[in-house]
Amino acid sequence: MGAALAKDADHPATGAAAKELLCSSAEITTGDENAQAIVHVLTCGSVDDGKSTLIGRLLWDVADLPEDTRASVAETLLPDGRIDLSRLVDGLAAERAQGITIDIAWRYVDAGARRYVIIDSPGHEQYTRNMATGASHADVAIMLVDARHGVKPQTRRHAAILGLLGVRRVILAVNKMDLVGGNETRFREIEADFRSLTARFAFEEAAAIPVVATTGDNVARSSSTMTWYEGPTLIEQLNRTPPRGSVEAASFRMPVQLVVRRPPDFRGLAGTVTSGSIAVGQTVIDTTSGRRAAVRRIATMDGDLEAAHCGQAVVLQLDADLDIARGAILATPDDPAIRTKRLDARLVWMSETPFDLQRRLFLRTATDLVPVSSVRVSARLDLETLTEIEASDCVHNDVVLAAITLRRPVALDRFADHKGTGALVLVDALTGATVAGGTAVALHETADPEAVGFRLTTAMLAEGVCAGVEPTSAEFRRRAIALLKVLKAAGVDAALEANDEEMSGAYLQPSAHPG
């Protein structure tokens, strides 16, 4: 996962960026008891707080670095004679030239039974959208502040984004404690500000640790100078973070990415399980249509499975041909996703162009792209007071609450219930630029799957685009599906008539490559 939203905001070709925000980089569950537990750690802080040095210290003290890497880094010394550990992190030439981190970067630290995936996000306000991309993957976040300056507006913005994107565990690393003489009073002042900040966003766990990244105090070893601090080191606190995998126990969700066809009669639904699990013989429901079928087969590149788990990319073959295409969400009948045209969302406005009511937008979910009818901003987060104030517009980096109305129904979950199917991105309809990213907080309307605004019947088709074509032929089906795609792309809530005997069975199915 490399590309970040910053490269795509207000620029075309944002597909990769949207996927970065929408798709958690869940690891495939193997069932191997000896496999390493994987924890994704986001690091964020303002410019010059020492974030790159802190990550470098973690790598230097904990990671099994090649000797030639250690030797190369050791050649570059700071004015005080210490090793410049930031060289282990700031890889881009532009970053080294400016002394800042621009793009998110992924670093891997193997620490015994655990593997830490460190997501290094930029600290400069200009690159906040990149930080949001990183936050969408994180299990825990390290928020860095300079002991001399304490909590700053960018710290508050980062906390808001972490809360928005569902990061529930945060660690405040109060860095450069040596520059305030290791003063406990100063640390406690910053810790109190941090507690007030985290209380606003209901984090499940929040810890504050005084550190000195350049010397390693309280990073991987306890400080010999700040003896008043009796809490865990940074690495000890990280070791307390539950590894990824809690979504395994959640309800089953699989956004359909592709319809796969193979001669002579194989038809499967490809996607990645974003939560829960599903087994052969279990019944699934398509949220979009409300129709059900049992899982006949679970296929993968490595052979068939009896069950699919969170994080696995699979192809499900059902015992009935349902009218399912890319954008649908498969679930279990006891807890389906929601089909709706109206929702409330918390958004981070990533576009450098201010909010414009007239701007044509699409809403992108995990696998769907839906025309937007309207977006109404109702509130904006005040980063100083951490309260929501009434607003009707927003600018770059604002965190807002907005009501979104769509031109056709979409399958979604509340983000609080399912991260993988509750995240969303708004993109410009003309340029494809990502303008906002966020989460669904309320789904106001559960649309009846049968209450489709316009149904194409066999009789209608026979008098129009399918005139002169046998209703049971493949050509009739092809033309019907093509017309349906055009109508849906135009925002028309349309469907093929499922109850018409002449249009039943395979002739209702979309093509293998839905548009």
pLDDT in tens, 267-287: 999 999 999 999 999 999 998
Q: Is 293 helix (H, G, I), strand (E, B) or coil?
A: strand
Report pLDDT digits (tens) over 310-328.
889 999 999 988 888 899 9
For residue 232, what are the contacts with CB-CB under 8 A and spacing of at least 6?
207, 209, 240
- β-strand partners of 262: 266
Q: Is the pLDDT of residue 206 over 90?
A: yes
Peptide bond into 153 cis (omega under 30): no
343 forms beta bridges with 404, 443
Ramachandran region, residue 449 (left: φ > 0; alpha: ψ -120 to 50; beta: rest): alpha
Q: Kindly report the average pLDDT of the chain as a whole number.
A: 79
Residue 100: phi and psi, rounded to 5, are -135, 165
Give the separation between CA 105 and CA 468, rounded to whole angstroms: 58
pLDDT recorded at residue 503: 38
Most confidently modeled range among 61-70, 178-187, 422-431: 178-187
Amino acid symbol at 89: V
For residue 203, what pLDDT is reported? Answer: 87
Query: In the prediction, which pLDDT does 19 show?
Result: 40
Least confident of 94-98, 152-156, 246-250, 478-482: 94-98
Contact 14, 432 (CB under 8 A): yes
Helices (H), 279-346: none
If one compares 168 and 7, the residue with the highest pLDDT of the two is 168
Residue 200 banded pLDDT, cuts 50, 70, 90: confident
Nearest partner of 312 among 26, 88, 4, judged by Cα: 26
How far is the C-alpha of 464 from the C-alpha of 252, rounded, in Å? 41
222 vs 240: CA distance, rounded Å: 16
Q: What are the DSSP E strand ranges found in 252-364?
A: 253-262, 266-272, 277-279, 283-286, 292-299, 307-309, 313-318, 329-331, 338-349, 361-364
Which tokens go with 133? 């991309």
Instruction: Work out the pLDDT band at 478, boundaries 50, 70, 90.
Output: confident
Where residue 515 falls among pLDDT bands split at 50, 70, 90?
very low
CA distance 438 to 400: 9
Instruction: Evaluate whether 332 touches 282 at the Cβ level (below 8 Å).
Output: yes
How would residue 444 be classed by pLDDT, with cut points 50, 70 and 90?
Answer: confident
User: What are the pLDDT digits (tens) for 23-46?
Assistant: 433 333 333 444 567 888 988 887
Identify any residues that bridge with 377 across adjacent strands, giving them in sequence order: 402
For 437, the 3-state DSSP assignment is strand
The pLDDT of residue 479 is above 70? yes
The answer to whether residue 460 scores a pLDDT higher than 90 is no
Q: What is the pLDDT, as a whole number, of residue 84?
A: 75
Question: To the nearest whole percent, how much of the chain has pLDDT over 90?
Answer: 39
Strand, coil or helix: what is 455?
strand
Q: Is the pLDDT of residue 91 over 70?
A: no
476 contacts 506 by C-beta, under 8 angstroms? no
The confidence score (pLDDT) of residue 158 equals: 85
The CA distances from residue 372 to 359, 362, 409, 427, in Å, are 10, 5, 10, 10
Per-residue model confidence (pLDDT) at position 40: 87
Q: Is the pLDDT of residue 127 over 60?
A: no
Q: What is the 3-state secondary structure (H, E, C) of 88-153?
A: HCCCCHHHHHHCCCCCCEEEEEEECCEEEEEEECCCCHHHHHHHHHHHCCCCEEEEEEECCCCCCH
Q: Residue 118, CB half-sphere, CA atoms under 13 Å: how many?
A: 25
Q: Output the CA angle 428-288-439, nearest 5 degrees.
A: 45
Provide the pLDDT for residue 22. 46
b/e code 89-117 from CB counts within 10 Å (16+ = b): bbeeeebeeeebbbbbbebebebeebbbb
pLDDT confidence of residue 490? 63
Name which residue leads in pLDDT, 121 or 359.
359
Q: Is residue 225 over pLDDT 90?
A: yes
- Which ranges constitute the DSSP H helices of 138-229? 153-164, 184-200
Which helix (H) or strand (E) element contains residue 253? Answer: strand 253-262
Helix (H) or strand (E) segment spanning residue 462: helix 458-463
Q: Does residue 101 contact residue 51 with C-beta atoms inside 8 Å? A: yes
- 334: tokens are 């006891």
Backbone angles phi, psi at 220, to 5 degrees: -110, -10
* Percent share of the chain, pLDDT over 70: 77
Q: Return the minimum-mean-pLDDT range out of 111-115, 185-189, 194-198, 326-330.
A: 111-115
Q: How far is CA 385 from CA 44, 248, 288, 402, in A?
A: 21, 37, 41, 20
Question: What pTM was computed for the model?
Answer: 0.67
Residues 6 or more apart from 276 whose CB is under 8 A from it? 247, 248, 249, 250, 251, 252, 253, 310, 332
The label of the residue with tokens 């414009």 reads 356
Q: Looking at residues 56-67, what average pLDDT do you find?
A: 80
Name residues whose C-beta falls within 8 Å of residue 331's C-beta, 6 or more positions apart in sequence: 251, 252, 253, 254, 284, 285, 287, 337
Structural domains of the chain, ranges and CATH numbers in brackets? 30-239 (3.40.50.300), 247-331 (2.40.30.10), 338-443 (2.40.30.10), 454-508 (no CATH)
